[in-house]
Amino acid sequence: MNGAQSLIRTLVDSGLDVCFTNPGTSEMHFVAALDSVPQMRPVLCLFEGVASGAADGYGRMADRPACTLLHLGPGLTNALANVHNARKARVPMLNVVGDHAVDHKQYDAPLTSDVEGLAAPLSHFLRTTKRSANLAADAAEAALAARTPPGQIATLVLPADVSWGEAGGPAAPLPIPARTKVDEARVEAAASALRSGEKAVILMNGQALRAEGLKLGSRVANASGARLMCDTFTGRLERGAGRAVIERLPYFGEMVAGELAGVRHLVLVGSQEPVSFFAYPGKPSYLVPEGCSVHRLAEPGDDMVDALARLADALKAPADGATIQQLAPPAPPTGALDAKAVGLAIAAHMPEGAIVADEGNTEGFLTPIFSAGAPPHDWLSNTGGSIGLGLPMATGAAVACPDRKVIALEGDGSAMYTVQALWTQARENLNVVNVILANRSYRILNIELERVGAEGAGPRARSMFDLGNPQLDFVTMARSMGVPANRATDAEGFSKAFARAVAEPGPSLIEAVLVG
Amino acid sequence: MNGAQSLIRTLVDSGLDVCFTNPGTSEMHFVAALDSVPQMRPVLCLFEGVASGAADGYGRMADRPACTLLHLGPGLTNALANVHNARKARVPMLNVVGDHAVDHKQYDAPLTSDVEGLAAPLSHFLRTTKRSANLAADAAEAALAARTPPGQIATLVLPADVSWGEAGGPAAPLPIPARTKVDEARVEAAASALRSGEKAVILMNGQALRAEGLKLGSRVANASGARLMCDTFTGRLERGAGRAVIERLPYFGEMVAGELAGVRHLVLVGSQEPVSFFAYPGKPSYLVPEGCSVHRLAEPGDDMVDALARLADALKAPADGATIQQLAPPAPPTGALDAKAVGLAIAAHMPEGAIVADEGNTEGFLTPIFSAGAPPHDWLSNTGGSIGLGLPMATGAAVACPDRKVIALEGDGSAMYTVQALWTQARENLNVVNVILANRSYRILNIELERVGAEGAGPRARSMFDLGNPQLDFVTMARSMGVPANRATDAEGFSKAFARAVAEPGPSLIEAVLVG
């Protein structure tokens, strides 16, 4: 058994059986070993940012890591933008980065670079295996690191000769630590704050946003009169009919400040103190109001469900005290196609168990509002602000959940960073409906240009946000990669196209041409 | 004047007047300032890897740096793969990376990352400006670093508040150091080796591959009986009719070893000792034969033209002793469309002053051979092995040289990494003929799988190199981004389409469907 075979077997035994790949020569033994370990499913991507974004979507939905297979420093750097998003969402991920053979690195061949230096800033675990005999044990440790709650980025640098050298058998999987139970003092502090009768917000993220945590959070909020909220961007939010209701913090800092005005107690459950996404001249970054006490009930790696259950008990919250969302999808829209019509149409036709990969930005922000009463579904958002996540994340979520329908809600500008994901969707025949919100611009930047108070901006500045010259034709682009596609220009047309797309298996794309 | 204005004015004064951009909120003041400094030309790219690859192509042809404008850590990492290539080609480049405002970084907002840590491994110069008043001076230093021979990667991290804060005027440009004259000892050592009568190779790269250096190298080689060669991958090679002839080192290590067998003296002119591109089991990495002395005439930053001229004098090489390529384009090909036919057609119709951006890989390797006798042209190759350079590099070269025709020679697999470059070509109406060599596979990896001796590879491994399921349709893909396109399936058809394309202004694409 060579190193690559011992690696892949160890990964499979450790619960990693999907690999999003874009291999090169230094990864050939890994690729060859795929035939001898059929339990590992390789998914070919045409660009490494697709691979890492897909691993993110997979990790969010499977609750265990996928691995990526990347080609030296440049393959790694191409993946890093979506690794950044996964890191911020605390998604488990294991990146295997092929490198030159150990003795070859000294010669400064063209593809030589400082792979560890490039990986370090975004990796929780980073190791270069120097001997084939160590590879299986290192892989088990990397898998453990990735799976350690709440989920981490593990990077294993794999010199080519370590892949091809003779190794022993695979390593046994290492036990994954459970989430930490929080100290009773944390529960008591939160309970005391919530009993005060003063204005309070419970802000949740991570594990607390699954069905069980939400129900507990809602019971706590209702028993104490606090408001239950989640962060603007969350890794995975279980919502829709039958789930407990939670409000979302808005995006812009001044709107967050408005929501939090007068709040005296902020109870954090897997979240952090709210700050503005960007800084703006003369506006505050830190958004916790003065005089507000912050109580950290649970950190991201803690057992939030247990902590919330104990808090509910402390507050004697009734077992049936959660506010449960009723099934109430809106009627399909008519008229012009705008952000509202898109949101109504998606909400009207969203099937039960849908997964929304949301990178809709300015044109997508109404869709979660209208879909609150849709059948139960999962909402995955862009947690790190690195653009180009949506289509890859949808791809990975569809690999993780082949029996569910994935909806990629995607801005036209954002789509172009990693549009190669469409080909992988076609190749794997994944159940993804890609909705491209085509406003022909980086619209958010037109808004931001005003907000930052940049003086002297004129037509040259504005032209930097204009995607209409030439116009991108997403219908032919999707078809060029094997994905059936259609264009919608009014609400009825979009609504019909979307209803048809979610009813059919396999990938599809709808270019929603929005009114200006 | 705010920081951004002082920055852009300083850059323009320092000789940087093109900026390949993909901006976000933290770069809004830079974008706004573009209207007040019309000397800076912004070129919008839909993905940061296009911006950095275009800056590479621009730098190679303009002999001065372009700048890029990138959005925080993720924007930087998206650019790094092509920064790696530029670094290996020793191309001047200045990356301006917007970051959060200085005081905002502490709050760990979603887009926060260790920008300096990510930039460091690939930057020769790296600085974060913390005060608006320092920005102009830092920009002048960064420009100097980029322009210091032979060309360097400079990275300037620009917090948003440093952009928007009040600054003084622009900083004066700093004097750029000249290339270093080499010690006489180096010239004498090379002369002595070449006078020995023993088998010798002169291996050149960098500045020595422009017309003047080539002619001197050829005179030296002819006067001494040495063989004149260049590296396999070179930043910019001036070749074709009227230029001195130079041979190219082959790609595979065993072929290099064959070429160098028996060589007793290797004279390096801006090059380094040959090593194999990748390591292979049981094969050597270091390819200088035993018993061969290595003589370093000139380092990459040295004045190679001066060194070669002194060497020519030392050897009393006749002034007219260079071997000059005659104009001898081949006849256009007929029959099946394969790598040979592509090479013959391009060579037959290549216009004078053409610039070839070569990422043709397995299907492109015959084109430089057949085009040796084409009219004078420049050849830009992938110097770092990071795939996804070709289309962006062609884009940047066309910005630098609007009156010349750029030919992107591009593999289908390689094209998909940064295919968004086509949109920028259309938007800027650039004179680029994109030739996509469509063999529907990562063919090089099928070759490499054999070469690395990976055992047990079967259909799953092979499927990782298959781009045919579904087939990529580059004609509709190009049109979807505003670039006119056609498909060719035989030699005559390709030849005609190529001749027509080079005769017309603006961008175009030809999908060359190659026989299997």
Q: Which of A378, A370, A376 is nearest to A396 (CA)?
A: A378
Residues contacting B244, CB < 8 A, separation 6+: B211, B214, B215, B217, B218, B228, B322, B323, B324, B325
Tokens of A29: 């033994």
Q: Which of A56, A22, A67 is nearest to A355 (CA)?
A: A56
A321 touches chain B (CB under 8 A): no
Please report, as a single letter, which amino acid is at residue A198. E
pLDDT of residue A39: 98
Does residue A516 surpass a pLDDT of 80?
Answer: no
**Which of B279-283, B389-393, B462-466 tops mean pLDDT?**
B389-393
ipTM (interface pTM): 0.97
CB A436 within 8 A of CB A415: yes
With CB atoms and an 8 Å threshold, state whether B452 touches A383.
Answer: no
pLDDT tens figures, B481-494: 999 999 999 999 99
Owner of token pair 């920008």: B115
CB-CB neighbours of A84 under 10 Å:
29
pLDDT tens figures, A382-393: 999 999 999 999
Q: Which of B197, B497, B147 is nearest to B348 (CA)?
A: B497
pLDDT tens figures, B29-59: 999 999 999 999 999 999 999 999 999 999 9
pLDDT tens figures, B273-289: 999 999 999 999 999 99
pLDDT tens figures, A383-434: 999 999 999 999 999 999 999 999 999 999 999 999 999 999 999 999 999 9
Does residue A451 surpass a pLDDT of 90?
Answer: no
Residue in A47, A275, A458 closest to B109 by CB: A275
- Sign of torsion, CA A41 A46 A47 A49? negative
Helix, strand, coil share of chain A (percent; to 5): 40, 20, 40
Whole-number average pLDDT of chain A: 97
Percent of chain A topping pLDDT 70: 100
User: Which residues on adjacent β-strands are paired with residue B509?
Assistant: B434, B485
Does residue A201 surpass a pLDDT of 90?
Answer: yes
- pLDDT band, very low/low/confident/very high, at A435 (cuts 50, 70, 90): very high
- pLDDT band, very low/low/confident/very high, at A77 (cuts 50, 70, 90): very high
Does residue A195 surpass a pLDDT of 90?
Answer: yes
Q: What angle do CA B153, B158, B160 make, to 5 degrees?
A: 160
pLDDT tens figures, A91-118: 999 999 999 999 999 999 999 999 999 9
Helix (H, G, I), strand (E, B) or coil at B297: strand
Q: Dihedral through CA B342, CA A418, CA A406, CA A31, nearest 10?
A: 60
Distance CA A510, CA A345 (A): 12
Average pLDDT of the segment spanning B97-103: 97
pTM more than 0.95: yes
Average pLDDT of the segment spanning A130-137: 98
Residues contacting B304, CB < 8 A, separation 6+: B179, B204, B206, B207, B208, B213, B269, B270, B297, B298
Owner of token pair 């160890």: A10
pLDDT tens figures, A340-363: 999 999 999 999 999 999 999 989
Q: Which residue of B has its CA nearest to A29?
A: B454
Residues contacting B393, CB < 8 A, separation 6+: B53, B54, B56, B57, B60, B82, B357, B359, B380, B408
Distance CA A264, CA A193 (A): 9
CB-CB neighbours of B241 under 10 Å:
17
**Which DSSP symbol is given to B401?**
-
From chain A, the residues in CB contact with B84 under 8 A are 73-74, 77, 113
Average pLDDT of the segment spanning B222-237: 98
Does residue A455 surpass a pLDDT of 80?
Answer: no
Residues 156-175 of A with CB under 8 A from B: 160-161, 164
Tokens of B183: 């010690």
CA-based nearest distance A419→chain B, Å: 9
pLDDT of residue B456: 83
Residues 73-132 of B with CB under 8 A from A: 73-75, 77-78, 80-81, 84-85, 88, 100-101, 103-104, 107-111, 113-114, 117-118, 120-122
CB B163 within 8 A of CB B29: yes
- pLDDT band, very low/low/confident/very high, at B87 (cuts 50, 70, 90): very high
Distance CA B108, CA B193 (A): 60
pLDDT of residue A276: 97
With CB atoms and an 8 Å threshold, state whether B477 touches A482.
Answer: no
CB A11 within 8 A of CB A147: no
A184-314 under CATH 3.40.50.720, yes or no: no
HEC readout, A181-196:
CCCHHHHHHHHHHHHC
Q: Do domains A3-164 and A339-513 have the same CATH topology?
A: yes
Does residue B439 surpass a pLDDT of 80?
Answer: yes
From chain B, the residues in CB contact with A386 under 8 A are 73-74, 111
CA distances from B69 to A272, B31, B33, B66 (A): 31, 9, 13, 10
User: Which residues on adjacent β-strands are paired with residue A266?
Assistant: A201, A294
Q: Which residue of B has its CA nearest to A455?
A: B32
CB A487 within 8 A of CB A513: yes
With CB atoms and an 8 Å threshold, state whether A80 touches B35.
Answer: no
Q: Which CATH architecture best describes the domain B3-164?
A: 3-Layer(aba) Sandwich (3.40)
Does residue B438 surpass a pLDDT of 90?
Answer: yes
Instruction: Count Cβ atoms within 10 A of the Cβ of residue A128 and give its class: 0-12 exposed, 13-18 middle, 19 or more buried.
Output: middle
Mutation target to probe the B interface, by most B beta carbons within 10 A, among A233, A452, A509 is: A452
pLDDT of residue B206: 98
Strand arrangement of the beta sheet that strand B153-159 belongs to: B41-44, B18-21, B66-71, B93-99, B153-159, B125-128
Owner of token pair 């370090």: A120
> Do β-strands A265-269 and A200-204 pair in parallel, antiparallel, or remain unpaired?
parallel
Alpha-helical segments (H) within B287-389:
304-314, 339-349, 361-364, 367-370
- pLDDT band, very low/low/confident/very high, at B516 (cuts 50, 70, 90): confident
With CB atoms and an 8 Å threshold, state whether B449 touches A388.
Answer: no
Average pLDDT of the segment spanning A446-457: 86
Q: What are phi and psi of B291, to 5 degrees?
A: 85, 0
Distance CA B15, CA B58 (A): 13
Taken as a whole, chain A contains a residue count of 516
Instruction: Specify the range with the lowest mean pLDDT, choosing from A262-271, A419-428, A481-490, B457-466.
Output: B457-466
Q: Which of A252, A248, A208, A247 is nearest to A232 (CA)?
A: A248
B294 touches chain A (CB under 8 A): no
pLDDT of residue B62: 98
| In chain A, domain spans | 3-164, 184-314, 339-513
From chain B, the residues in CB contact with A471 under 8 A are 482
Tokens of A446: 């037109």
Distance CA B242, CA B221 (A): 17
Q: Which CATH architecture best describes the domain B339-513?
A: 3-Layer(aba) Sandwich (3.40)
Please report, as a single letter, which amino acid is at residue B453. G
Owner of token pair 């408005």: A258
Backbone angle region of B377, left / alpha / beta, with phi > 0 → left and psi within -120 to 50 → alpha: beta
User: Which residues on adjacent β-strands are paired with residue B95?
Assistant: B68, B155
pLDDT tens figures, A207-247: 999 999 999 999 999 999 999 999 999 999 999 999 999 99
Q: Which residue of B has its CA nearest to A81?
A: B74
A1 touches chain B (CB under 8 A): no
Distance CA A486, CA A435 (A): 10
